[in-house]
Amino acid sequence: MKNVKRLAFLSLVLILSFSLIACNNTKSSKNESGGKSDGKVTLNFWAFGATGYDKLIKEYEKEHPNIKIKFKTSENAEHHDSLFTALSAGTGAPDIALIEVDQLDRFKQAQDRFNNLFDLGAKDVEDQYLDWTWNNGKSVDGKFLFGLPTDIGPKALYYRVDVFEEAGLPTDPDEVAALINSPEAFKTAAIQVKEKTGKPFVDSMEMAYRAYLDAAPEKYLNPDGELLIEDKDNYVKKAYDFAVELNKAGVVGNFEMWSPEWANAVNDGSFAAELGAGWLKGWMEGNAPDATGKFRVATLPKEFSANWGGSYLTIPSETKHAKEAYEFIEWLTSPENQLKSFKSHGLFPSAPSVYTMDDFKNNEDEFFGGQITSVVFGKAAENISGSGYKGEKYVPINNEILTALTNVQEGANPEKEWNEAVKRAKDLLSR
Amino acid sequence: MVFAKTLYPIVYLKRGVKMASLKRKHLSEEKKDMISGYLYISPFFIIFLIVGLFPAIFSMYLAFQKWNGFSPMEFVGLSNFKVVLTDPLFWKSVYNTIIMGIFGTAPQLIVGIILASLLNQAFLRFKQFYRVTIFMPYVTSMVAVALVFSVLFSNQETSMANYIIGLFGMDPINWGTSEWGTKIAISIMVFWRWVGYNTIIYLAGLQSISNDLYEAATIDGASKFQQLRFITMPLLKPFILLTVFTSTVGALQLFSEPTVFLGNNAFTRNEAMTIVMYLYRDAFRLQSFGTASATAIILMVLIVIIATINLLLTSGTSLRERGERK
């Protein structure tokens, strides 16, 4: 009996220790974000895209030797999906997370998983930022601040000088802006490029669609969650029809953004223009070396002037170092550091005080043949009044319309595709 | 002497204890083996309980709730199942899964047997080299494979796949977005990756058939084809059963290959969406864990049905054969 009892006890100990090990694993990942309590603090920072924040992080770590920041960059969709999973699981979330503006509404549902930055002192820096971008980071009732704005995405017309020249279009940015000053003029120039060079004007249906869409004051949903795209004459349909029109004129290319083919096309100049935001500049400089000096930026017609992108630095409530995390993100989004991010990666500042800084106004871009691009983007930023409510299901609904547009490009009937996309969007909302 | 007398009871007691403990030791040997046996298998079961069983049961519970990951759960009964079963996208994904299963998995089993019998021939040189290369695709990194295949099968006219079909006089296909283009591209990916795995299993099966049987048959005057039909196939039956079963279950759960091949369009376009991709999209893109769990349960039922049909068909014939031999 004794031996059996002893063995039973041993096995119980083994089972308990296995379960303790399993539990400890989750606890220690929480502790990882905490670090030791003797002053050394480790912060986990998750971001996406090309931010160039690793350099700024090294600077911050030098000034604050007791803080270590572990920086992780992933691809846009995966980053937001992992963040969402970590937040809903309740463990594994980072101390600081960068969230893109399109995805922010999706995370606003989970208010209790984030720290209210107002509680950490964010009210003091409110004046530093543009009104509309600051307000986007707040909850509907305005009492909860999710994140500090990092950058905005004022759109401008990136165009290839060599393609424009071949097509007989002006190449100086001011002349281009004067010529392409309306959607009709845009279409005319596009057709001219096609006739003279055979190259598409815009790279993909998505770009042609975004031309009007990003500027629309209302998009797919209103704050009450109602679907707007079934209404007659809604803004989204207008954007859709314009893309269909451009496609019929044969000026839309087949390069899906961020694909290897698109990257090559940017490098080689296989399409004439991109209605891109300021942060595209940072990507181009790093990934399209052959295109140095071949691109310029011009102001878009005011119907197309809009904001695309921009992000917020948030602090999930799981963190054990909210104070240190907040100090870091306040430092990272301060006007001086926004200027640094702009110069290195084109992240367009969300703090208007930067626009008046000399360094900003005189920043000659070698990639753009010496053009001072900040002035163009700055003018575009001034014309932005807001970005229209997105809603939590913005990205999936947007994807349904993009699917319809791709089908149209391959020859499907535009009206039929539109109706089916609307039906699918309605179905999405019912989940 | 007095001591000796008083010691007697103690001695008897001790002897009694010894005898009893001998008996106990005798019993507890078996018990000891039993307990150590349970201890040896307990780590797997404990981990399975935590990582496998609990999520599966929780998922069955979730299927009756509406949950977006953050807010409290809301009981909705069978409504999630209704939503999924009336969704045309779900049925499209079932259709896609079955088509890609047939195109991608069925050829593997046939080609696998052929390759295995070729590899088993005595006259083949460099056998080891062939075996390793056929098995190599199975150990490659999924992401690297997807990247290469997405360039080989890119939508551009200049992609490798379009060039090859151009040689046969066909128009370039949109491999990433067309109905059959995506299915064929993904089926080729799946075939390439898994054919080696099935080949090695069949090879093991072929090698387990002793040569004496073949020699005896040859002496009795059986042709090569008769040998194949009456010796090889019946003895390979268990291996064929295994591969058909695992391939079917695996094909119904197809997820990684289409997801990485389609990249950004993986969860938005419906040409190559499989059941598990539909489930993933519900959970992680649409934040609807309830319907995702309902899909998982429907998939489980589907797998059980198809696997049962599979087993009945194949084991039915082997029972008949055994009956004949008797």
Q: Does B43 touch chain A (CB under 8 A)?
A: yes
A168 assigned to some structural domain: yes
What DSSP character marks residue B53? I
Nearest CB neighbour to B70, from listed A8, A10, A88: A88
Q: Which residues pair with A151 in a beta bridge?
A: A311, A349
Residues in CB range of A146: below 8 A, 6 or more apart: A99, A104, A107, A108, A111, A114, A117, A137, A138, A139, A312, A314
Q: How far apart, in whole angstroms, are the C-alpha atoms of residue A390 and residue A252? A: 26
A324 and A299 together in one domain: no
- Quick check: B97 contacting A, CB < 8 Å? no
What pLDDT was estimated at residue A30? 43
**Domain interval for residue B10:** 2-62
Same domain, A69 and A55: yes
Q: Are residues B111 and B151 in the same domain?
A: yes
Q: Are residues B58 and B89 in the same domain?
A: no
Task: Report the Cα–Cα distance between both ends of chain A, in Å, rounded.
Answer: 59
Query: Do B254 and B307 lie in a common domain?
Result: yes
Q: Among A153, A156, A160, A108, which residue's Cα sits nearest to residue A133?
A: A153
Q: How many domains does chain B have?
A: 2
In whole angstroms, give the CA distance from residue B204 to residue B120: 9
Paired strand residues for A43: A69
Residue from the list B177, B265, B286 with its beta carbon closest to the beta carbon of A431: B286
B1 touches chain A (CB under 8 A): no
Same domain, A298 and A422: yes
Record: contact A254-B156, CB cut-off 8 A:
yes
Asked if residue B271 is part of any domain, the answer here is: yes
Q: Whose structure tokens read 């170092």?
A: A321
Whether chain A has a CB inside 8 Å of the CB on B42: the answer is yes
Q: Are B46 and A393 in contact (CB < 8 Å)?
A: no
* Spatial contact of B306 and B255, defined as CB atoms under 8 Å apart: no
Task: Show the domain range for A91.
Answer: 34-152+310-358
**Whole-number Å distance between alpha carbons of A259 and B222:** 59
Same domain membership, residue B281 and residue B177: yes
B65 to chain A, any CB pair closer than 8 A? The answer is no
Whether residue A326 has pLDDT greater than 90: yes
Beta strands at A41-48 and A67-74: parallel, antiparallel or unpaired: parallel
Same domain, B161 and B258: yes
Pair (B211, B276) in one structural domain: yes
Domain assignment present for residue B231? The answer is yes
Same domain, B188 and B271: yes
Residue B136's CATH number: 1.10.3720.10
Q: Which two tokens stand for residue B300?
A: 């489980």
The torsion region of residue A297 among left (phi > 0), alpha (psi -120 to 50) and beta comes to beta
Same domain, yes or no, for A303 and A395? yes
> Is B67 within the bounds of a domain?
no
Tell me if B72 is assigned to some domain.
no
Q: Are residues A162 and A102 in the same domain?
A: no
Query: Smallest Cα–Cα separation from B34: which of A81, A11, A163?
Result: A11
- pTM attached to this predicted model: 0.77
Q: Does B24 contact A431 at a Cβ distance shorter than 8 Å?
A: no
Choose the most confident range, by mean pLDDT, from A95-99, A349-353, B123-127, B163-167. A95-99
Tell me: do B185 and B153 sit in the same domain. Answer: yes
A11/B39 Cβ within 8 A: yes
- Identify all chain A residues contacting B268, using CB atoms and an 8 Å cutoff: 396, 399-400, 402-403
3-state SS record for A160-221: EHHHHHHCCCCCCHHHHHHHCCCHHHHHHHHHHHHHHHCCCCECCHHHHHHHHHCCCCECCE
Q: Do A258 and B39 touch (CB under 8 A)?
A: no
> What is the Cα–Cα distance from B185 to B122, expressed in whole angstroms?
35
A256 and chain B in contact, CB less than 8 A: yes
Indicate if B8 and B93 belong to the same structural domain.
no
Decide if B71 is inside a domain. Answer: no
My answer on whether A263 and A180 are in the same domain is yes
Instruction: Characterise B186 by phi-psi region: left (phi > 0), alpha (psi -120 to 50), beta (else).
Output: alpha
| DSSP label of B66 | E
Taking the C-alpha atoms of residue A366 and residue A373, their distance in angstroms, rounded to an integer, is 10
Would B166 be classed as within a structural domain?
yes
- Picking from A114, A120, A115, A91, the residue whose alpha carbon sits closest to that of residue A32 is A91
Question: How many beta-carbon pairs below 8 A join chains A and B?
Answer: 95
* CB proximity B72 to A under 8 Å: no
How many domains does chain A divide into?
2
Task: For residue range A240-277, list pLDDT tens digits in order.
Answer: 999 999 999 999 998 888 887 888 899 998 999 999 98
d(CA B182, CA A159): 33
What does the DSSP 8-state code read for residue A92? Answer: S
Residues B56 and B108 in one domain: no
Question: Do B54 and B96 sit in the same domain of this protein?
Answer: no
- Asked if the C-beta of A185 comes within 8 angstroms of chain B's C-beta atoms, the answer is no
The confidence score (pLDDT) of residue A32 equals 43
Task: Supply the DSSP symbol for A113.
Answer: G
Asked if the structure places residue B87 within a domain, the reply is yes
Evaluate whether residue B219 is within a structural domain.
Answer: yes
Distances from the Cα of B102 to the Cαs of B7, B108, B278, B312, in angstroms?
85, 10, 19, 19
Kindly state whether residues A183 and A228 are assigned to the same domain.
yes
Per-residue pLDDT of chain B (326 residues; tens, 9 = 90+): 455 555 555 555 555 555 555 555 566 788 888 989 999 999 999 999 999 899 899 999 999 999 888 888 889 889 999 999 999 999 999 999 999 999 998 899 889 988 888 888 767 778 888 888 988 999 988 888 888 888 888 877 778 888 888 888 888 888 888 889 899 999 999 999 999 999 999 999 998 888 888 889 889 888 888 888 888 888 888 888 889 889 999 999 999 889 888 887 788 888 889 999 999 999 888 888 999 999 999 999 999 998 888 878 776 655 455 544 44
Residues in A touching B267 (Cβ below 8 Å): 399
Residue A144 shares a structural domain with residue A73:
yes
Do A255 and A207 belong to one domain? yes
Q: Within this chain, do residues A242 and A160 fall inside the same structural domain, yes or no?
A: yes
* Together in a domain, A129 and A178: no
Same domain, A284 and A257: yes
Instruction: Read off the CATH number of the domain in which A250 is found.
Output: 3.40.190.10
In a domain, A210, yes or no: yes
Considering the domain architecture, whether residues B228 and B108 belong to the same structural domain is answered as: yes
